[in-house]
Structure 1
Amino acid sequence: MNPWKLLDIAQAPKKGGELRLYQRGTEFSIRVDNHELMGSHEHGSEEALGELACARIADRSRPLVLIGGLGMGYTLAAALRRLGPEGRIVVAELVPAVVAWNRGPLGHLAGHPLQDQRVVVREVDVAQILRSEQLAYDAVLLDVDNGPEGLTRKGNDWLYSLTGLSTAFEALKPGGVLAVWSAGPDRAFTQRLQKVGFKVDEVRVRARGARGGARHAIWLAGRPL
């Protein structure tokens, strides 16, 4: 069997663990502390995150989208496909190496979405953007961890707290949507979203899209008009 080859190692900021990029044949994997964060063999739910969220705001004039977490670019590529030529996307990625990997060995996987002129990459914590910009975004998409509990960085827990969700609510324009990816359901998180004021839909999607795979969860939380 073809073994995995280690391509690169990057340290996540603030004791967030060591990210490792692996390749085996045409497959790629990003792992932290022996946990696979993402792999090129299953990305249907990441694409669903971009598609489902942007479908709700695609008819707006010059929609502006914030994506927290670049991953392997699949969510970004799906969002770009759903938005028109006037749409714009800001990607917040805290680990510079992940951006470099997407400009290099991973770029072809999702069709080189970072080359799209509608995209701006900011190498900062998405929380920093949310705290500093109010009523700015038509959609905010969060795929920074394995769900509403920080795996790679405990600091990500803030995003899923009442304070973090309230901050995301304020960063959205009226009628905007907060979309959150998770490896599984979380009733308490749904309740926190509702408590903040969001109208919440929870969608279950397959890890490999039409090819099946594990069931992942996506929350689509709308800010009322």
Structure 2
Amino acid sequence: MTTAYDASHNSHDSPEVIDRREGPYGEVVLRRHGGLLQIIANGCFLMDTSDGRSERRLVDAALGALNRPDGPARLDGRTGPEVLIGGLGVGFSLAHAAAEPRWGRITVAEREQAIIDWHRSGPLAELSADALADPRTAIIEVDLVTYVNETSDTYDALCLDIDNGPEWTVTQGNESLYSEAGLTACARVLRPGGVLAVWSAKPSPDFARTLRNAGFQQVRTEEIPVARGVPDVVHLAVRPG
């Protein structure tokens, strides 16, 4: 997720590279720029620690959709709805989910070992340490596209935040995730009545149509106000019961 820069830091300061890794998907860099931590992948700015409202809204929107009287997921004896978060990033989504006692199991799929390390023993631990210590939480190192096609696990909600939206993917291989076939794979990891929530830097009517073509119901879009420019959005859809 691309996040707006915090105007409080000096844009003329040079970012400090804290760690640089070469992994199976290319180069990943953690930088400090003023008071912010930034993640850069293959030279593309992904996200920083400036805000987090979009990540928090993504998680809240999924939980709110599960609690709607017209289509809640059945818990079948579980202590709370179980959520799969696609993408660890700087940890805002994970931390917000873990701060919500209504969630049950919280699983994060992250394909970059470097990002996992920065949370477990690096500078990003300041954002996620409490969440990682929560017994409900687990991080699995896996590409989400592979995971939704191969896992036998199922969840009540799937929150996707691995790209800047269906029309602005970070890596070319992610494009398939937002196709009808990719969304069908997402549906297979959702229990009946389960919610898919997808963050996007802008609304996408085409993506909403693809969600419906993939069999999802109650498709809608929630806007997230930003400091300037077009609002971020969360696309929401429900797997039929």
Same fold (TM over 0.5): yes
- Which shifted more, 145-154 or 188-197? 145-154
Equivalent of 1:48, from 45, 57, 67?
57
State the superposition RMSD in angstroms.
Answer: 2.1
- Which shifted more, 172-181 or 182-191? 182-191
Between the aligned partners of 2:221 and 2:55, the Cα distance in structure 1 is: 15
Matches within 5 A, 1:73-222: 73-84=91-102, 87-103=104-120, 104-110=122-128, 112-133=130-151, 136-149=154-167, 151-199=169-217, 200-207=219-226, 212-214=227-229, 215-222=231-238
Matched residue type, 1:221? A
Cα pair distance change 1:213/1:73, threshold 3 Å: farther
% same residue: 38
Question: Equivalent residue of 2:197, what SS?
Answer: strand
Unaligned runs of 5+ residues in structure 2 are: 1-9
Give the number of the structure whose alpha-carbon radius of gyration is greater.
2
Unaligned runs of 5+ residues in structure 1 are: none
Return the TM-score normalized by structure 1.
0.88
Between the aligned partners of 1:12 and 1:191, the Cα distance in structure 2 is: 35
Between the aligned partners of 1:152 and 1:11, the Cα distance in structure 2 is: 16
Return the TM-score normalized by structure 2.
0.82
Matched residue type, 1:26? G
The size of the alignment, in residue pairs, is: 218
Cα pair distance change 1:102/1:213, threshold 3 Å: farther
Matched residue type, 2:44? H
Report the alpha carbon displacement of residue 12 of structure 1 after superposing the two structures with TM: 4.7
Question: Equivalent residue of 2:142, what SS?
Answer: coil
- For 1:5, the equivalent position in structure 2 comes to 16
Question: Equivalent residue of 1:108, what SS?
Answer: helix
Question: Equivalent residue of 1:11, what SS?
Answer: strand
Report the alpha carbon displacement of residue 45 of structure 1 after superposing the two structures with TM: 0.4
Between the aligned partners of 1:224 and 1:188, the Cα distance in structure 2 is: 20
- Whether the aligned pair in 2 keeps the contact of 1:135 and 1:173 (CA below 8 Å) is no
- Whether the aligned pair in 1 keeps the contact of 2:56 and 2:96 (CA below 8 Å) is yes
Cα pair distance change 1:99/1:202, threshold 3 Å: same
- Whether the aligned pair in 2 keeps the contact of 1:130 and 1:167 (CA below 8 Å) is yes
Between the aligned partners of 1:222 and 1:179, the Cα distance in structure 2 is: 9
Between the aligned partners of 2:23 and 2:167, the Cα distance in structure 1 is: 17
Matched, 1:64 2:91: no
